[in-house]
Amino acid sequence: MDFRISADDRVGAPAARRNKPQPRGAKGQRVEPTLGQSMVFSVEGDRPGGNGGAGGNGGGKPPKGRGKPPRRGRAEPARARKKKRSGGFLMGLLWWGFVACLWGGLAVIGIIVYYGAQLPAADSWAIPERPPNIRILAADGSLISNRGQTGGEAVTFRELPHYVPAAFIASEDRRFMSHFGVDPIGLLSVAVESVQARGVTRGASTITQQVAKNLFLTPDQTLGRKVQEAILAIWLEQNFTKEEILELYMNRVYFGAGATGIEAAAQTYFGVSARNLSLGQAAMLVGILPAPSAYNPKANPDVARERQRLVLNLMAQEGYITREEADAARIDPNQTIRTVVAGSESYVADWVESLMTAYIGEIESDVVVQTTIDYKMQRDAEFIVKEKVAQEGPNRGFTQGALVAMDVDGTVRAMVGGVDYQASQYNRAVTAKRQPGSAFKPFVYMAAMEKGYTPDTLAEDAQFDYNGWSPRNASGNYAGTVTLRQGLAYSLNTVAGRLAIDVTPEKVIEVAMRMGISSNLTPVPSIALGTQEVNLLELTSAFAPFGNGGYGVIPNVITRISDVEGKLLYEASDAGPGRVVDPTVLAEMNDMLKTAVEVGTGRGANIGGWDFGGKTGTSQQSRDAVFVGYTSAMVTGVWLGNDDNKGTRLSGGNVPAAIWSEFMTKAHAGRSPAPIPGGSYAGQLIAQQLIDPNTGQPVIDPNSGQPMVQYVDGGSGQPVHTVTDPATGQVTAIDPATGQPLPGLRPIGGQAPAHPPIQTGTMTDPATGLPVETGADAGMSMDGWGQDGGQIVQYDGFGQPADPGGFAPGGQDGGFQDGGFGAAPIDPDTGMPMMLVTDPATGEQVWVPSAPAAQNQQSVEQPGAFAPPATLQQEQPAYQQQRSQRTLMDLIFGN
């Protein structure tokens, strides 16, 4: 083929010449290209006004039958223009989008800078200390409660079962382990949902953001707070590990019902430690978080179950548990969700918390408090009080009860501050002050014993007026001449009033405070009737010296306080007020207080096999009913009444005495009975604190830091020389001249001497040879008759079997409930009751006429005659100082 290339086809030739159309031959002939001539192809002839075509046609029309060239050349420029316009729009959109993003980013940066500038300097940011927790334990180490702002101690991430933190992540922030504090994907997802729902559907805060909010910010829902929350979240992620952040969250998030943190929630709702949560329990607790007040199992168990199901499903979806485990962990829909109800131990916990500052000052970190509470006794006390209030309350018109039980050394073992802590946290055992009524009278009688009176001193039970004050007996009946033993046993107001006037109200207050009453008391005669208010705790502790041998006590519920590392912060001391009752006076008081529960107003109390004493108390209109009783091991006080001070149909001798009996019987189970102190301390060593005469304070041993003591002869009260066995701690009296033990003085150990034995003198029925019950109300009817071993036995006024010949019927007791006093034989010559005296020749007790001559012949003088106030001596008969054994029933009915 012959190719010819013209100059126009060369590289660099002008474009016009290169594009010049080539000539074409005739129809059907091939035109070969030749050098210097281009290929014939042109569209010029197709344009109006064109210059003609090639092939000799000049500028004329093309020959007929010749096809027109394709119009492709005209379509291509239009499409190009369209593409140009479309490309320009997209480029413009991208450009303006970029500009908008740039400005938006600048705006966001500006907002962040603006609100970030309002935060403190970053180098000052630090995690706030968690409020300290007070962990309160019973004597056996079991948990009573947690106290503090959080309601529970902090636990570490690694102490928890693996599914506990997994439940938090699956439910609250499933991308927690991968995001940087803020979750952009989560934010976008929430934004799309909110647009579709035309409203905010859920929050988008991560766990880290919630920690930042809880630690540093207020809960306000504002743009500024959210920005600061995000800034702080990023800071947390930069400075703490994921485990540490999750630990902060679990220990500080609120679960409702006053529980902050996973440990508090586990204890509050399930009564277990967070360390021991089951999978189902963990899921239920996490389900509470979106709405603690509405989703918790105490408020709405059905909703809580549904929330638990959702959390378990999420955990299965995220692969933390299997579907089978999720199904197995769900609580049966027919099963009631069990949550722990705050019981009476919460009253103890509140009391302990209130004491903490006084013991160790301000609490700066978690502490552990060991208490003296016996958990079994606490549960028994709570159950008994609740049961009796439920059974007797509607009929007798009362709704509340309280109980305090302690060892005779002041160690508190149980406390019930009310029947329902959930409904009322007011502690009626410690905080409430009520009138003790006749339960206060032992302090009046003790003041009289210290002045020289004895239980057998006679007093007049009759109305009187003293400077406008005129006490009345509750029954409206008056017995005339009675012994002080009878006056206390039957709560005769006139006798107590006369005693208080005689010994002075100031002396009564001094005795009460010495025994343990700490409330402010006003020295007025009516103090004798228990009209001034005290709390049950102090009243109960004031009876403890009667049971422990005469030593004052300070109620104590805390044995030791330490931090969580075991460092000791406080430990209880055995130091106390020392002896507060003279042994002789103590024996007299226990004699009278035993009579009060054997035959007096407290005879409804009983505790099998144990020697005990006690006193009832009932305030005006029966607004308060009290019984306080003691053994040689424990003392317990019971109060019943209403918070609004309404009157009831109670007395201290009925329901309170029944509660006392039931509780004390359980509390003494398994112990060996021991008598309460009484009789003479002659022949025993008595420990007494040494008192500095200049300061009136106990002398402290510089070596031990403990109060120094000296030992005295219990009979003479004279100091004696002693030696202490270093091996056993036993103290022995010695003769300083010979160094030998003194004969007749029984050694005892420790500061609190052992109680001396009391000879009870068991009596037998002469007809049957069987033991008979004496002194107590056992089996006795109102007229003094009783059944013993299948035989009818008559008892005299002191619970002794009486001569069956000649008894006066007792009849009704005029409101004094004299079930135990019986009647004395009647003198056939005078028709008057006979009296029991001791024959000086034989030493036996015999009945003699109660005529004045016989009385004078057989009477025995006693010290401490009852001298009434001068203003009363003219109004009342002179007080006789004689050992008349006339019974109260005889006196009331004139027999």
Q: Which residues pair with 407 in a beta bridge?
A: 634
Helix (H, G, I), strand (E, B) or coil at 459: strand
Number of C-beta neighbours around residue 590 at 10 A: 25
Q: How many CB atoms sit inside 10 A of residue 750's CB?
A: 12
Amino acid of residue 338: R
The residue annotated as part of the active site, out of 438, 651, 661, 850, is 438
Find out whether 223 and 125 touch, Cβ atoms under 8 Å: no
Nearest to 529 by CA among 439, 599, 653: 439
CA distance 344 to 414: 9
Helix 505-515 / helix 441-451 crossing angle, nearest 10 deg: 110
Which has the closest alpha carbon to 745: 720, 767, 725?
720
Four-residue CA torsion sign, 767, 773, 778, 782: positive
Distance between CA atoms of 241 and 156, rounded to whole angstroms? 13
172 noted as active-site residue:
yes
Q: Which residue is catalytic, options 38, 145, 172, 460?
A: 172
Instruction: Quote the DSSP letter at residue 525.
Output: G
Please work out, in degrees rounded to the nearest 5, the angle formed at the alpha carbon of residue 282 by the alpha carbons of 280 and 288: 105
DSSP H helices, 677-777, are none
Q: Say if strands 685-689 and 709-713 run parallel, antiparallel, or are unpaired.
A: antiparallel
Q: Decide if 591 contacts 556 (C-beta within 8 A).
A: no
Single-letter residue type at 297: P
Task: State the chain's maximal CA–CA distance in angstroms.
Answer: 188
- H/E element, 796: none
**DSSP line for 629-663:** EE-SSEEEEEEEE-TT----S--TTTHHHHHHHHH
**879 CB contacts (<8 Å, ≥6 apart)?**
457, 458, 459, 460, 865, 866, 867, 868
Q: Which of 888, 891, 889, 879 is nearest to 448 (CA)?
A: 879
Tell me how many degrees the CA angle 486-491-496 measures, rounded to the nearest 5: 90
Is-contact 447 533, C-beta < 8 A?
A: no
Dihedral sign from CA coordinates of 879, 884, 888, 889: negative
> The tokens of 83 are what?
């593409």
Place of tokens 């992620």: 237
**Which residue(s) pair with 698 in the sheet?**
691
**Can you read off the two tokens belonging to residue 687?**
């420990």
The bridge status of strand 845-848 relative to strand 835-838 is antiparallel
Q: Find out whether 449 and 410 touch, Cβ atoms under 8 Å.
A: no
The residue count for the chain:
895
Helix (H) or strand (E) holding 414: strand 412-416
Would you call 438 a catalytic residue per the annotation?
yes
Distance CA 521, CA 542 (A): 15
Q: What share of the chain is helix, strand, coil (3-state, %, to 5)?
A: 35, 15, 50
Single out the residue of 449, 445, 441, 443 nearest to residue 864, CA to CA. Answer: 449
Please give the positions annotated as active site: 172, 438
